[in-house]
A and B are shown apart, each in its own frame.
Chain A
Amino acid sequence: MNILVTVVMRDLRLAMRRKSEVLSAMFFFVVVAALFPLAIGPEPAMLRQIGPGVLWVGALLASMLALSRLFEVDHRDGALEQMLLSPHPLWLLVLGKMLAHWLLSGLPLVILAPVLGLQFHLSPDELALLSLTLLLGTPVLSCIGAIGAALTLGVRGGGVLISLLVLPLFVPVLVFGAGAVQALSSGLGAQAHVSILLALLLPALFFSPWACSAALRIALE
């Protein structure tokens, strides 16, 4: 368990020493969310309807920005080799890297989303639900994205390939994440959507480190 904390702290520390990467994802999210109301016009009903979808798409694309670098930097400087040779289980080290990725690219979006949601005239209930769905959904994005990053490791133009591989798998998360807020505003209640998001999260958390480890072993052969 100690090693999990060590790996998370390592990646956080590395990210703090090159802040531009973390900030660029957050900046991207803010810009996307701020541009839509400007482009579409100040119609409250319209903004309220598209708000959750826009924020979710923005969050999804923002969390993809850092994906291609998740394993690539460690691959290039040989740190990944040392992780494969570690007596600690590889899935634990990979889980640490995924956690760090989420803390850096998912959690800031969860915190920013309610503030940005104000521009879309969302009610407090809807804002709270939006944050909750992002809190459940963005870890799934990190988990699935990490598998894509591990599979495309060392491939030239891997960034494009990751999007092709991973975006279709992100669709259910997007549908139920954005759908939850819409269901709440139309009076249906969002419990089903939230349950499904949770049901996506648990298997993703369980299988992803294992799948990533297998992919990394093949990539480094």
Chain B
Amino acid sequence: MSQHLLQAVDVSCERGGRRLFKPISFALSAGAALHLEGDNGAGKTTLLRALSGLSPLSQGTLHWCGVPVGESVVGFKNELRYLGHALGLKDELSALENVQLSAAVAGQSLSREQTLQALAVQGLKNRAHLPLRVLSQGQKRRVALAQLQVAQAKLWLLDEPFVALDADAVQALQLLLQQHLAQGGVLVFTSHQAVHLGAAVQNLRLHP
């Protein structure tokens, strides 16, 4: 059991008093990824939010490194990075400020050079100092990916990370995810597209 980093047993979620999907179980060890599938409204986003601790699980237990998540919340949050539909970026701030601020909130201090380098990898080298409101939707998502790239968290929960990205950015993101897994990270994500991350991906379909 202890070799699994993230383990969920019989978890399910409720929304408005109604159970969203049949209880599911999964266990992910270092370098493993879980692709959540399901129709619209099947509860993928709700499950991701519940895994992150934003909303409660209606049943089941969640273990991180063999310890129930409720017993070491701060330790779990230190290892967690969640990227939802809303990116948490500020339109008034520049890409550079956004990445540095979100890293600070996530408990990580980031130098200016590191940040600029991450933005350059995402193809935003010349946009780093522009306020975010002049960037396109896809460029904003790239800023969010730059945040992921510098994150030291082991567990990534990504809700539809491939939305609004062009072909290059999809490639870059797949590479980023593969690197994360190669470094012993764990990944849970939802996507309606086929994603190629190598052999380590488990598919899990949510049934109502």
Q: Which residues of A contact B (CB under 8 A)?
A: 2-3, 6-7, 10, 13-14, 17-18, 76-88, 93, 220-221
CB distance from B104 to the nearest CB of A (A): 5
Number of A-B contacts (CB under 8 A): 73
Q: Which residues of B contact A (CB under 8 A)?
A: 52-56, 74, 77-78, 80, 82, 84-93, 97, 101-102, 104-107, 131
Please name the residue on chain A nearest to B133 by beta carbon: A17
Interchain residue pairs A-B with the least CB separation, the first 4: A78-B86, A78-B88, A17-B92, A87-B107
Interface of A is mostly: helix
Specify which chain B residues have a CB less than 8 angstroms from the CB of A87 in the assembled complex. Answer: 74, 77-78, 106-107
Interface pair B54/A220, CB less than 8 Å apart: yes
Q: Of A78, A88, A93, which contacts B87 at CB under 8 A?
A: A78
Interface pair A221/B101, CB less than 8 Å apart: no
CB distance from A87 to the nearest CB of B (A): 4
Known: A14-B92, A17-B131, A77-B88. A221 touches B106 (CB 8 A): no
Instruction: Give 13 new A-B contacts, CB below 8 A, not counting A77-B87, A81-B84, A85-B82.
Output: A6-B104, A13-B92, A14-B92, A18-B92, A76-B86, A77-B90, A78-B87, A79-B90, A82-B105, A84-B54, A87-B106, A87-B107, A221-B55
Specify which chain A residues have a CB less than 8 angstroms from the CB of B105 in the assembled complex. Answer: 3, 6-7, 82-83, 86, 88, 93
Q: Of B54, B93, B131, which contacts A85 at CB under 8 A?
A: B54
